[in-house]
Amino acid sequence: MLTKRQAKTFFIGGTVLFAAIFLGLTIDTLSNGLPRNTHPEKMDDQVKLGRYLWDKNNCMGCHTIMGEGAYYAPELTRVYSRKGPAYIRTVLTAPEGWQPRGRNMVKYDFTDEEVEALIAFFKWMDEAYLNGFPPKPWLQPSE
Amino acid sequence: MKYKSQKVAYYFFAFSMILLLLQVTYGFIMAFAHMGYDGLHEWIPFNAATATHKNLLVVWIISGFMGAAYFIIPDEAETELWSEALAKLQFWSWAIVGVIAVAGFHFGWFEGRKFLEIPRPLDYLVALNVVLFLVIILMTLLKGKRQTTTAWVLTMGLVFAALLYLPGMVYFENLAVDSFFRWWVVHLWVEGVWELIMGGILAYLLIRLTGVDREVIEKWLYVIVGLTFLSGILGTGHHYYYTGGPKYWLLIGGIFSAMEPLAFLGMTAFAVQMYRKGNKRHPNKLALYWTLNTAILSFLGAGLLGLAHTLPQVNLYTHGTLVTAMHGHLAFWGAYGSLVFAVIAYAMPLMTGRKIYDNFIGNLAFWTANIGMLGMTAAFAAAGVAQVSLERLAGYEFMEVAKVIEPHFFVLIIAATVFTTGILLFMWNFLLYGAPSDEAIQPEGEPVFQVTT
Ligand code: HEM
Ligand code: HEM
Ligand SMILES: [Fe+2]
């Protein structure tokens, strides 16, 4: 029968071992995988400003990006290629706030520079490779 | 209650209840917005409501943990708290920072990082406060007459929870790196160190409520928290599938996160077994119900509903949809909400001397809250599955789908009303217990209903 001491060894041993593996993989992810997929070298000042505005205004409080956030408004990882920069500009500068189908987006007073920065940020996001996310819809109505 | 200073727990429990009530209010605001009624948009836009809902959740749960620690640690260590005055100071500073943070969300003072929306300047105050809390707990434990496994597991859970908050305070320019470390907080909390806290509290409650021998309970406690870290640490990988990480996380995250339910199943088996082995003599039935409820619902909400979308093939389609919200609600409620309720139901009669053990209101609260939450889970599930099918599989636009799934939010609101009724009844009982009193002190401690084997 398992003793308390053996149980304790299992707990401490397992934790140390798996924490060590996790730290190793973290280092690899941060130095290889993430940079390869997300192109930090393309993050110029404009992208960085956009990224900052995304955070500061809690856009994630309604939208998801990379599938993370809230579920009140559309996924934006690929919004740049899906809708294009002109459409995004219209959304961000709507004088009364954007109102898609009766739902309200917050009305923002972004400067032109800030609007362009957000668009640059979305372009950067659009170019990131996310292991196939968002998936391509494949279900078609049969004729 | 054996020690006078254990009464500090009452402040935390009361604060926790108030925040829960507020959290639920913001839940309704969001549910109505999803149904198309966002009349409050001018004053409380959806992103302020979500930030408030999620942070109130985290703060009421942690307040419950802190109250639990202030109640349990003196009892386990057989000594008064190291400093009751500092504990009160810690409470008031905690409450003030919490209120400022939540008020700030309504003026757009937040960061867009789900669950970690509290702005960084306040983060430092939170960190300072938590250090004070940990010093009080550790000093109490160290000066105590005995140091039990239960007390150490609980304390280490609290210490690691504090340490893991730190990576969430750094600003990373690359959004993907930011997200990577956000999971160190969110995932390694709920699927890691918070399970230590949960295991410690459950062990304490089971020792008291069932009378089973401490050595037996603590042995299984080690096994369960062992399983937690064995699966949960590398299980973090289930958040790295589609957020910029390399491909190997699909394999590692998939395998290890699929093992996480074992730890929760362990909790269920642990509690149910101890209940069956134990004598059924402890009079506090409500505390026992909530304890068993935690052990069972956590497996359903975290274990089974987590497993439902944790494999990368499934998660590719469900990632970031209302399916996640379905799991989030039952997991948080079943594992941590219910746990806080169990501690309150156990501690309040001891602190106040009012023997509310098995009354009608308490029983009704138990059933309505849980049935309501199961209903909410079902409503989110229906909405989530419809969203995944229409948006992710068939390719309809987000807003087209949002219109189609509006009726599910009507169901959500009905179930949430049942849930809220349960919460209100529980709070009614909370008021019935009255305030803690020195007259409730039992110098010999609570009579032990030891099982004779
Ligand atoms: C009256 C009760 C409640 C209602 C109506 C409600 C409703 C909601 C809604 C509409 C969302 C937002 C989903 C979105 O992003 O669009 C949400 C998020 C959330 N709520 Fe609640 N909620 C309630 C109570 C609770 C309780 C008691 C808990 C925890 C114990 C909880 C935990 C959460 C969590 C963790 C999220 C984030 C989920 C995610 O983004 O995956 N809620 N809630
Ligand atoms: C008590 C324990 C747990 C709690 C409180 C919990 C809560 C949550 C919450 C709130 C989220 C949304 C997080 C966000 O988007 O920021 C989430 C996501 C997730 N959880 Fe859990 N969880 C628990 C345990 C588990 C377990 C054991 C599993 C796996 C078996 C699991 C699998 C997942 C997955 C795969 C996601 C990502 C969903 C997505 O891609 O959108 N969870 N969980
Ligand atoms: Fe997770």
> Could you tell me the pTM of the whole model?
0.96
Q: Which of A37-41, A97-101, B67-71, B419-423 has the lowest mean pLDDT?
A: A97-101
**Which pLDDT score is estimated for B446?**
80
Residue B348 domain-assigned (yes or no): yes
SS3 for A38-93 is: HCHHHCCHHHHHHHHHHHHCCHHHCCEECCEECCCCCECCCHHHHHCHHHHHHHHH
Domain positions in chain A = 1-38, 40-127
How many CA atoms lie within 13 Å of A95's alpha carbon, on the beta-carbon side?
A: 0
Inform me whether the pLDDT recorded for A115 exceeds 80.
yes
Average pLDDT taken over every residue of chain A: 95
B255 burial type by CB count under 10 A (0-12 exposed, 13-18 middle, 19+ buried): middle
B191, B336 Cβ separation under 8 angstroms:
no
CA distance B76 to B261: 29
Q: Whose C-alpha lies nearest to ligand 2, atom 5? A: B332
**Cross-strand partners of A65:** A68
Reading the block at residue B210, the tokens are 């069932």
Q: Which of B3, B360, B176 is nearest to A66 (CA)?
A: B176
Mean pLDDT of all residues in A36-59: 96
Dist. CA B234 → ligand 3 center (Å): 10
Of A7, A133, A137, the CB nearest to B242: A133
B136, B81 Cβ separation under 8 angstroms:
yes
**Which pLDDT score is estimated for A46?**
97
Q: Which amino acid is at B176?
A: A
B412, B376 Cβ separation under 8 angstroms:
yes
**Which pLDDT score is estimated for A143?**
65
Look up the domain containing B361 and give its range.
4-439
DSSP A33: I
How many domains is chain B partitioned into structurally?
Answer: 1
Q: Which residues contact B372 (CB under 8 A, 6 or more apart)?
A: B415, B416, B417, B418, B419, B420, B421, B422
Of B30, B112, B234, the CB nearest to A18: B234
DSSP A131: T
B137, B175 Cβ separation under 8 angstroms:
no
**Residues present in chain A in total:** 143
**Which pLDDT score is estimated for B453?**
47
Q: Which amino acid is at B373?
A: M
- Per-residue pLDDT tens listing for chain B (453 residues): 899 999 999 999 999 999 999 999 999 999 999 999 999 999 999 999 999 999 999 999 999 999 999 999 999 999 999 999 999 999 999 999 999 999 999 998 998 899 999 999 999 999 999 999 999 999 999 999 999 999 999 999 999 999 999 999 999 999 999 999 999 999 999 999 999 999 999 999 999 999 899 999 999 999 999 999 999 999 999 999 999 999 999 999 999 999 999 999 999 999 999 999 888 889 999 999 999 999 999 999 999 999 999 999 999 999 999 999 999 999 999 999 999 999 999 999 999 999 999 999 999 999 999 999 999 999 999 999 999 999 999 999 999 999 999 999 999 999 999 999 999 999 999 999 999 999 999 888 887 766 654
Q: Whose C-alpha lies nearest to ligand 2, atom 9? A: B328
Handedness of CA B32, B35, B38, B39 (dihedral sign): negative
State whether residue B45 sits within 8 Å of chain A by CB.
yes
- Whole-Å CA distances, B206 to B274, B288, B365: 7, 8, 22
Judge if the beta carbon of residue B81 lies within 6 A of ligand 2.
no
Q: Which of B304, B366, B312 is nearest to B331 (CA)?
A: B304
Cβ–Cβ of A72/B50 closer than 8 Å? yes
Q: Kindly report the CATH number assigned to the domain that includes residue B200.
A: 1.20.210.10
- Classify domain A40-127 at the CATH topology level: Cytochrome Bc1 Complex; Chain D, domain 2 (1.10.760)
Dist. CA B306 → ligand 2 center (Å): 6
B44, B123 Cβ separation under 8 angstroms:
no
Ligand nearest to the CA of B319: 2
Helix (H) or strand (E) holding B294: helix B285-298
State whether residue A10 sits within 8 Å of chain B by CB.
yes
Judge if the beta carbon of residue A70 lies within 6 A of ligand 1.
yes
B302, B237 Cβ separation under 8 angstroms:
no
**Which pLDDT score is estimated for A74?**
96
Helix (H) or strand (E) holding B58: helix B46-77
Judge if the beta carbon of residue A68 lies within 6 A of ligand 2.
yes
Residue B219 domain-assigned (yes or no): yes
Q: Whose C-alpha lies nearest to ligand 1, atom 16? A: A71
DSSP B352-421: H----SS-HHHHHHHHHHHHHHHHHHHHHHHHHHHHIIIIIIS---HHHHHHHTHHHHHHHHHHHHHHHH
* Pairing of the two strands A64-65 and A68-69: antiparallel
